[in-house]
Amino acid sequence: MHQNFSFKGFIDQTLRVLHVYVGVLVAPFIFIAALTGTLYGLTPQIEKKLYEPYLIAKHQVHQQPHLLSEQVKRAQRFLPSSAHITAVRPAIDANTTTRVLYMDMRDPSKTVAIFINPYNLTMQGKLPVYGTSGVLPIRTFLDHLHRDLLLGEYGRIYSELAASWLGIFAITGFIQWQRRKRKPSNAYLRSQSIYWHGLIGICVLPMLLFFSATGLTWSNWAGGNIAKFRHLMNSDTPSLNTQLGIYSVANTDEHAEHRMGMMMHHGSEMTLNNLTDFDAMVNIARTHGLNASALQIKPSYDEKRAWTVEELQHQWPIKIDALAVNIKDKLVVDRIYFKDFPLSAKLTRWGVDLHIGVLFGWVNQLFLVVSGLGLLVLIFFAYRAWFSYVKPLHTLIQCNHQLIHWCYRADAKQLGTCLGILGIMYFVVPVWVLSIVLLSFFVAIHAMYLSIYKKQG
């Protein structure tokens, strides 16, 4: 009969199983997430180089830009007959183009951007863009590579698994580093690898915890649970009310653009009768304190819905205020200001922008890339230490042995506590819990195999 763990022995063995043996199996997912995340952190420079002919508006020094309405009118010349403008982004400074986004009824699932030079009204190209934010192709590619490895919705399991375990490995690693005992060792390669693994881990520990927390907030299943919790706490991100009339309701329709595309597809008459409304929207935005250089104007093709204008400045200080305007009488019917957001909504916004490297500009990018590279090196030294004394083919077998040993020695109270924690955590981080269940299943199969093998022997 096996001797039960003392509390200290139980904790020590749990830390070792979680950080070392499970880490060997899960670390490849974290490595991929760190690599793709580091690439994503470089997207501003990549976009600037790759799309310079589209984004940069060349002009004479004293040349004045045309009115926004004139730029939109010129863009309409290049629209297919079945297309409708969904958003307009005026040039953010004197050297950039205006972006006119449109949707074609023949394929309402896709959005295309036309880039207009504000000074000579030439079209500098077309590019497909994605989502309500109009993300350019290379950023979309790197975003999906990081988020789901281009595998779609179920590919997001990998990134959520990585984010779930990253925080666990960071915490258990820190605890083991604090409790470490320096022992003389003849295995120089292993001892040096463990030394560098621990040193780099301590240096990037805050960023590892941050990546884990914000990654989970942005994830599919855990992120959905967090969003539900925020909703219960009345901490949702505010949204504009664009419905005109006495029966106004908040505009929380996440599929509004798709619905508009379906309206086009079924032949609804949707036209912009007065393009000077775009000039009016810019003036209204400035009058009501929307002073960010980056604006986005969304026209409405439904007389019962308002036009909207919103700020798109995600660099500190964040400016994402928005207005809903009754375009007929040019009156603001609703407004949201970032300063009035609930604290949880602000923290979520700051966390996401910090995670993708835009909140503090190039400084944010530098920390993002350095931390990503640090995590890659951290994992390299972990595997270097592991493979210096264990054959790769024996890794899974040793992991199973350790888990079986842990289960046999833990008493009912200790196992019950662990199961209770897992039960609660399932409603927060389900992918993490299911990964433990799956690993436990394979361990049980292996234990049965060993038992049968010993009986036959």
What are the pLDDT digits (tens) for 226-256? Answer: 888 888 887 888 999 999 975 444 444 444 4
For the chain, how big is the Rg over CA atoms in Å?
A: 27
Of 135-149, 227-241, 342-356, 408-422, the poorest mean pLDDT is in 408-422
Q: Which residue has the higher pLDDT, 66 or 110?
A: 66
> What pLDDT, in 10s, does the model give residues 190-213?
888 889 999 999 999 999 999 999
Amino acid 447: pLDDT:
66
> What pLDDT, in 10s, does the model give residues 151-183?
998 999 999 999 999 999 999 999 888 877 655
> What pLDDT, in 10s, does the model give residues 293-332?
999 999 999 889 999 999 999 999 999 999 999 999 999 9
Q: For residue 392, what pLDDT band results from cuts at 50, 70 and 90?
A: low
Average pLDDT, the chain: 86
pTM (predicted TM-score): 0.85
Of 80-94, 111-125, 234-248, the poorest mean pLDDT is in 234-248
- Mean pLDDT calculated for residue range 182-191: 66
> What pLDDT, in 10s, does the model give residues 16-30?
778 887 888 899 999
Amino acid 453: pLDDT:
64
Amino acid 218: pLDDT:
85
Amino acid 7: pLDDT:
66
Q: For residue 451, what pLDDT band results from cuts at 50, 70 and 90?
A: low
Amino acid 89: pLDDT:
97
Amino acid 441: pLDDT:
80
Q: For residue 262, what pLDDT band results from cuts at 50, 70 and 90?
A: very low
Of 53-67, 152-166, 374-388, 429-443, the poorest mean pLDDT is in 429-443
Q: Which residue has the higher pLDDT, 91 or 436?
A: 91
Amino acid 263: pLDDT:
47
Q: Spell out the SS3 assignment of the chain.
A: CCCCCCHHHHHHHHHHHHHHHHHHHHHHHHHHHHHHHHHHHCHHHHHHHHCHHHHECCCCCCCCCCCHHHHHHHHHCCCCCCEEEEEEECCCCCCECEEEEEEECCCCCCEEEEEECCCCCCEEEEEEEECCCCECHHHHHHHHHHHHCCCCHHHHHHHHHHHHHHHHHHHHHHHHHHCCCCCCCCCHHHHHHHHHHHHHHHHHHHHHHHHHHHHHHCCCHHHHHHHHHHHHCCCCCCCCCCECCCCCCCCCCCCHHHHHHHHHHCCCCCCCCCCHHHHHHHHHHHHCCCCCCCEEEECCCCCCECEEEEECECCCCCECCEEEEECCCCEEEEEECHHHCCHHHHHHHHHHHHHCCCCCHHHHHHHHHHHHHHHHHHHHHHHHHHHCCCCHHHHHHHHHHHHHHHHHHCCHHHHHHHHHHHHHHCCCCHHHHHHHHHHHHHHHHHHHHHHHHHHHC
